[in-house]
Amino acid sequence: MWANVLIFLGGMLICAILMVPLLMVMRRDQERRARVTRRRIADAERLAELGTMTGGLAHEIKNPLSTLSLNAQLLAEDIGELDLPADARQRIIRRTESLRRESDRLKGILTDFLQFAGRIRLDPEPHDLNVLVDELVDFFLPQALAVGVQLRTTLARQPTIARVDSALFKQALLNLLINAAQALETMPANSDRVRELMIRVEPASSHSPAMHAVHVTDTGPGIPAEHLSSIFQPYFTTRKGGTGLGLATTRRIIEEHQGSIEVHTEPGRGTDFLIRLPAAASADPSHRG
């Protein structure tokens, strides 16, 4: 009997001895995780503070730029009325116009930055995507025609209801239209291919019962394979003068709506951006936009 007791106590002692290193490892792991958590919280707080400071700085810069641009325009008008030699007058006017253009460009960069970096506050309501797309196409049509782009729209045959913030959804889609039109502009003037931009709305179906789809497809030069992994990254652009925030902002807006965006491209043939948004029932059957 005593032998069994001694064996039991010996076994317990051995287990205790073996458990000590394990407990020490577990404790160190807990301490490491706690340090990582504290560091992440501190990093998040610093990033939030930096974001607030950067946004405030951008606002402070944007306002003087607006004043600078306006005064450059007024200065050019006043110079035009001065009694100066024609060549001197034109030279000064060109310089003031260059000043105004650069001021407007910087203001545009700041506007894009503030839109991307700022917090997105959604005000989602049931909307028919057909109606929103149709309204946006009507707005964008003159801009497309001005650069020789044919715009075609294919709407769904039935209401395609999604809970979206209509203004932000239109902004996301407009970024895609502008991006596509700019890609089409790069096509050679003697090309025999039609500069065409197509927007198609597809309602949820048996293949995708919970998601509506919106396609923005162009017949442009396509996207090189080496750029595909970067096009949605902030500040990535291959266009001179571009901010590289349009597609990044579009993805952020769509993902805030619990949707997704993907791209399919074929160099030399064109690109298709596909937006998917959760389908929703309309609170009012007659509500279409």
- pLDDT tens for residues 242-257? 667 788 889 989 998 9
| Domain that includes residue 39, residue range | 1-119
Segment 110-123 mean pLDDT = 70
Give the total number of structural domains in the chain.
Answer: 2
User: In terms of domains, do 89 and 154 share one?
Assistant: no
Residue 218 has pLDDT above 90, yes or no: yes
Segment 89-115 mean pLDDT = 76
User: In terms of domains, do 171 and 264 share one?
Assistant: yes
- As a whole number, the mean pLDDT across the chain is 79
70 is a domain residue: yes
108 contact partners, CB below 8 Å, separation of at least 6? 243
Q: What is the pLDDT of residues 172-209, one digit of tens each?
A: 999 999 989 988 888 776 677 788 999 999 998 767 67
Please tell me the predicted confidence (pLDDT) of residue 199: 95
50 confidence band (pLDDT: 50, 70, 90): low
User: In terms of domains, do 56 and 165 share one?
Assistant: no
Token couple for 143: 């801009």
Has this prediction a pTM greater than 0.85? no
Supply the CATH number for residue 172's domain: 3.30.565.10
Residue 180 and residue 157: Cα distance in Å, rounded? 25
4 contact partners, CB below 8 Å, separation of at least 6? none
First to last CA, the chain: 86
155 is a domain residue: yes
What backbone torsions phi and psi does residue 30 show, to the nearest 5 degrees?
A: -65, -40
Residue 158 CA: distances (Å) to CA of 106, 119, 130, 289: 43, 34, 9, 13
- Which runs of consecutive H residues, i.e. helices, occur in 81-128? 86-117
Please tell me the predicted confidence (pLDDT) of residue 285: 45
User: In terms of domains, do 147 and 171 share one?
Assistant: yes
Residue 102 has pLDDT above 50, yes or no: yes
